Chain A
Amino acid sequence: MDWLAKLGQATIDRFAAIGRATGMLMGAIIAAPQVKNIPLTIKQIYVVGVQSLSIIVVSGLFIGMVMALQGYTILVDYGAEGSLGPMVALSILRELGPVVTALLFAGRAGSALTAEIGLMKATEQLSSLEMMAVDPLRRVVAPRLWAGLISMPMLTMIFSAVGILGGHLVGVEWLGVDVGSYWSIMQSTVEWNEDVMNGVIKSVFFAFVITWIAIFKGYDSTPTSEGISAATTQTVVYSSLAVLGLDFVLTAIMFGIE
C-alpha cells in the first residue's frame, strides 16, 4: 500500500510541476510585447546566442568533416563519391544540424540559464523584483525565452552552413572529389522548403522546449546550492531527452511515409 501512495504522490507532483511550468510560460508570453523588454532581449541573445557561437562553429566544422570522411569511404566503393555533397548536406540540414545544435545549446546555454535564474532566486533577486512591483516573468523570464527562440534557429543555420563547408574541406580539398559535382549535385538534390526550412522549423521547436525547461527548472529550483546543481543537471538531461524524442516525432511528421 505504501508504494501505491508513493506512486500517487509522485504522479501528483509531476502534474503539479507541469501546471506550474505552464503557468509560468503563459505569464511570460502574455507579458512579452513590451518596448522595455527589447534591450533586455538583445542582451540575452548575446548571452545565449553569441556566446554559444564558438562551440557551434567548431562542432559544425568537425561534424561536417567527419561526415565527408565517413561518407567518402563508403561511397567510393560504389563509384558514387559524386553523391558526397548531397549526403553531407542532407544529413546535416535535416538531422545533425538541428539536433546537435540543440544538444550543445542545452549543455551550454540551457544549464547556464537554469543556474542563473536559480541563483537569482537564491539571492532573493526575484523576490526583490516582486517587491519592486516588477513582474519577474516579464523582466527575467520573457526576455530569456524570446532570446532562446530567436538564437537557436540562427545557430542551426550557422551550424549547417559551416558543416557543409567542412564537408567541402575534407571531401573536395583533401580527398579530391570534384568540386563541381560536390556543389551541383547537392544543389539539384537539396530543396529549400523540404530540407532547409524543415531543419529550421525543428530547431524552433527544440529552442522552445530547451528554453522552457531551463527557465522553469531555475525558477522552480530549491534555492540552495544542492537545489541549483540538481536543477542544472535536470535541465541538461530533460532537455536532451526531450530534443531526441521530439526529433523523432517531427521527423515522422515531416518526412514520414504516408
Chain B
Amino acid sequence: MTSRKVEVLVGLFVALAIAASLMLALNVASQGSVGQGDTYTLYAKFDNIGGLKERSSVKVGGVVIGRVEKIKLDPKDFTPVVTLSISTTYDQFPETSSASILTSGLLGEQYVGFQPGFTIDDIENLADGDYIADTKSALVLEDLIGQFLFSKGSD
C-alpha cells in the first residue's frame, strides 16, 4: 500500500532528523558534559557567594570538572553552603584542595575555581560528601570600593 517513493522520502526525513540531533549533540551541546555521567558530591562553605548560581561550572585551570548543584544557607551559622557535583573521572583530589569563587572576565559569569592541593603520603583524597576546608569567597565590588575609600580616608 505504501509506495516506494513515500518510503524513501520518510527514510530521508528520519536520516535528516538524526543528522540534526547529531549536530546538536556534537557541535552545540557541551560534550561529555558533567551532569550526565556519574558524579560525586562535595560541599564548600563560603562567607559570600556573590553572583554564583546553581548550574554554574566548577573548573580546574579552566577545565570544567563539575557543576554547582545547590546553594543553601546553613541554618546554624548562617553561612552559604554550596553543593558541588564533580565528575567521578576526577576523584583524586587531595584534602588540601581549595575552592574559590571567581569571575570569568570583567562582566562574565561567576564560577567555582578549584585548586588541587599538594599531596603528601598521609593526606587522603576528598571523598563523596566531604567538605572543602579551604575556601575563598567571591569578590564583591561594593566591598572593594568601600575598602579602597576607607584606606584612602585613613591616609
The answer to whether A binds B is: yes
Binding site for B on A (CB under 8 A): 39-40, 42-43, 45-46, 49-50, 53, 78, 80, 89, 93, 151, 153-155, 157-158, 160-162, 164, 183, 186-196
Which of chain A's residues has its CB closest to B32's CB? Answer: A192
Known A-B contacts: A39-B1, A164-B23. Give 19 more (CB < 8 A): A40-B1, A40-B2, A42-B10, A43-B1, A45-B10, A49-B13, A89-B28, A154-B16, A157-B17, A158-B17, A160-B20, A186-B28, A187-B29, A188-B64, A191-B33, A191-B35, A192-B33, A195-B29, A196-B24
Let me know if B25 is at the binding interface, CB within 8 A.
yes
B140: A residues at CB distance < 8 A: none
| A151 cross-chain contacts in B, Cβ below 8 A | 13
Chain A residues, Cβ within 8 Å of B16: 53, 154, 158
Complex contact A42–B17 (CB within 8 A): no
- Nearest 7 pairs of A and B residues by beta carbon: A154-B17, A161-B20, A192-B29, A157-B20, A39-B2, A158-B20, A46-B6
The CA-CA distance from A190 to B24 in the complex, in Å, is: 10
A153 / chain B contacts, CB cutoff of 8 Å? 17
User: Is B9 located at the chain interface by the 8 A CB criterion?
Assistant: yes
Residues in chain B near residue A39, CB distance under 8 A: 1-2
Residues from chain A with a CB closer than 8 A to the CB of B154 are none
Complex CA gap A192/B14 in Å reads 20
Does B1 contact A45, Cβ atoms closer than 8 Å?
no
User: B24's closest neighbor in chain A, by CB?
Assistant: A196
**Whole-angstrom distance between the Cβ of B19 and the nearest chain A Cβ:** 8
Report the interface size for chain B: residues with CB under 8 A from the other chain.
29
Is the beta-carbon distance between A196 and B7 smaller than 8 angstroms? no
Q: Which chain A residues border B25 with CB–CB below 8 Å?
A: 192, 196
B151 proximal to A (CB < 8 A): no
Nearest opposing residue in chain B for A161, CB measure: B20
- Within 8 Å of chain A (Cβ to Cβ): is B21? yes
Main secondary structure of the interface of A (DSSP, over half): helix
B149 within 8 A of A: no
Encoded as 1 (CB less than 8 Å from any A CB) or 0, chain B from 24 to 50 comes to: 110111110101100000000000000
Q: How far is the CB of A114 from chain B (nearest CB, A)?
A: 22
User: Contact check: which of B6, B29, B107 meets A196 at CB < 8 Å?
Assistant: B29
Q: A39-B2, A45-B13, A158-B16 are in contact. Are A93 and B24 (CB under 8 A)?
A: yes
B14 vs chain A, min Cβ distance (A):
7
Among residues of B, the one whose C-beta sits closest to the C-beta of A197 is B29
**Chain B residues whose C-beta falls within 8 Å of the C-beta of A40 in the assembled complex:** 1-2
Q: How far is the CB of B148 from chain A (nearest CB, A)?
A: 25
Residues B52-86 near A (CB distance < 8 A)? 55, 57, 64
- B2 proximity list for chain A (CB < 8 A): 39-40, 42-43
How far does the alpha carbon of A53 sit from the alpha carbon of B12 in the complex, in Å?
A: 11
- 18 contacting pairs across A/B (C-beta < 8 A): A43-B2, A43-B6, A45-B10, A46-B6, A50-B12, A89-B28, A154-B16, A157-B24, A158-B20, A160-B20, A160-B24, A161-B21, A161-B24, A187-B29, A189-B30, A191-B29, A191-B33, A196-B21
Cα A162 to Cα B24 with chains together (Å): 10
Say how far A98's CB is from chain B's closest CB, in angstroms: 13
